[in-house]
Structure 1
């Protein structure tokens, strides 16, 4: 899920934009949260630092024609992958968005008729939703880790097992088809990030696509490449469900 922010100081316009967003969410059954703000202060108060979001920003607020630009710079700094749309009458300020490296997704001109505004807002939501789904898919297809200042990745289809040992706290051991590696990490964060990784005990995560069989009596999980893994009593039922 991601959030759509509506920053607009005109109550009627903000209500109209929200109606468009709400209807688009309902029709397409999107998992999107809508956040409204009538001024920059309420925007900053409601802003949540997440991985991703779509922002419809009024360019001029409280007599400041660059208020939306300042907000956009804040968003880009705190959420580098955000999608930003300016809703404005100041088309001439488009150059400044390039100069400040804001990279907006779109401009919605308030001078256009309501039908065109509606179509642009709907299209921007649809494009953002598609990008969001594609980015999730891409992240789940590749497992990434960092050693020092360098980043590494393993195709998820090659990953078999991740585990920790008491002798090396704060480090995660990786086993895959082509490599074994140890890197600084935390199993809890990796479990939350990758949906196809299953916790089978307090110190092990397995790639569910690399499971071959499970001995429920021994509580032993058999993975590809002759890799074996113990399963805790608490996790045994979750593992058993994979074979039903």
Structure 2
């Protein structure tokens, strides 16, 4: 789960931002979690993910008008790719973020209406989600598909079989470890995007890592989870050679 952090000392505002963030994650089914909600710098720093994260930081905590700025500097030092959003009343400190090379994703002023603040928070979460989606698309070890307005990603190694849906042309049936799904797509595009998957016939792509056995006489694969898949005559020679080379 991609971590989100919230640093705010005003209880009412903290609860409002918490609700907005959690609602956005839940409605869109993003692979994100609001990991830490606090007014304590140490609590944020000790819970930081080792790779990345999105932090919503109040600039002023108690009497310290630059508490959020100080925290952002430490976050940026530890996580160069982290996303940082300031939510503050101090618009004059925006120039200081440039001087310290914090490069925030956004700078939200609290003197705006609650609706505008919510819109900015939601927009920032969506921007980060889009960047995560783009990064996943470029990774060869991640399988992605879209269902409606939602994107799903998981390890390509978990894919067992992709097949065309006979009852619903234009849809693909996914069978993976602990997961089944159906989504709009076509095998030609998927074969090009994921060249490690093997095209058994015109209607099936398989992950050869999940082969249990191959009956070359009947041209049938037995895959993990008891899934069976036919192999065309043309593809059977290619498959035989691949399996022979793997021995």
Length-normalised TM-score, structure 1: 0.60
Question: Secondary structure of the residue that 1:103 maps to in structure 2?
Answer: coil
Structure 2 CA distance, aligned partners of 1:78 and 1:131? 20
Q: Which residue of 1 aligns with 2:30?
A: 30
Question: Secondary structure of the residue that 1:140 maps to in structure 2?
Answer: coil
Cα distance, 1:69 vs. partner? 1.4
Matched, 1:19 2:22: no
Q: Which residue of 1 aligns with 2:3?
A: 3
CA contact (8 A) 1:2 1:32 kept: yes
Q: Which residue of 2 aligns with 1:44?
A: 45
Q: Which residue of 1 aligns with 2:198?
A: 211
Structure 2 CA distance, aligned partners of 1:65 and 1:54? 21
Structure 1 CA distance, aligned partners of 2:89 and 2:78? 26
Cα distance, 1:61 vs. partner? 1.5
Q: Which residue of 2 aligns with 1:129?
A: 129
Q: Deviations over 1:127-150 (max 9, x none)?
A: 1111111111123389xxxxxxxx
Structure 2 CA distance, aligned partners of 1:2 and 1:242? 36
Moved over 6 A (4+): none
Q: Which residue of 1 aligns with 2:224?
A: 238
CA contact (8 A) 2:7 2:37 kept: yes
Which consecutive residues of structure 1, in runs of 5 or more, have no partner in the other structure? 143-193, 200-206, 214-220, 224-228
Matched, 1:53 2:53: yes
Deviates more, 1:40-49 or 1:4-13: 40-49
Q: Which residue of 2 aligns with 1:147?
A: none
Structure 2 CA distance, aligned partners of 1:209 and 1:46? 37
Q: Which residue of 2 aligns with 1:195?
A: 155
Size of the aligned set, in residue pairs, is: 174
Question: Secondary structure of the residue that 1:139 maps to in structure 2?
Answer: coil
Structure 2 CA distance, aligned partners of 1:136 and 1:48? 18
CA contact (8 A) 2:25 2:33 kept: no
Cα distance, 1:196 vs. partner? 2.8
CA contact (8 A) 2:83 2:104 kept: yes
Structure 1 CA distance, aligned partners of 2:134 and 2:104? 19
Cα distance, 1:99 vs. partner? 1.2
* Pairwise CA RMSD: 3.4
Deviates more, 1:9-18 or 1:56-65: 56-65
Which consecutive residues of structure 2, in runs of 5 or more, have no partner in the other structure? 143-153, 160-193, 201-205, 214-221, 231-247
Question: Secondary structure of the residue that 2:43 maps to in structure 1?
Answer: helix
Cα distance, 1:109 vs. partner? 0.6
Q: Residues 198 and 10 from structure 1, CA distance in 2 versus in 1: closer, same or farther, beyond 3 angstroms?
A: closer
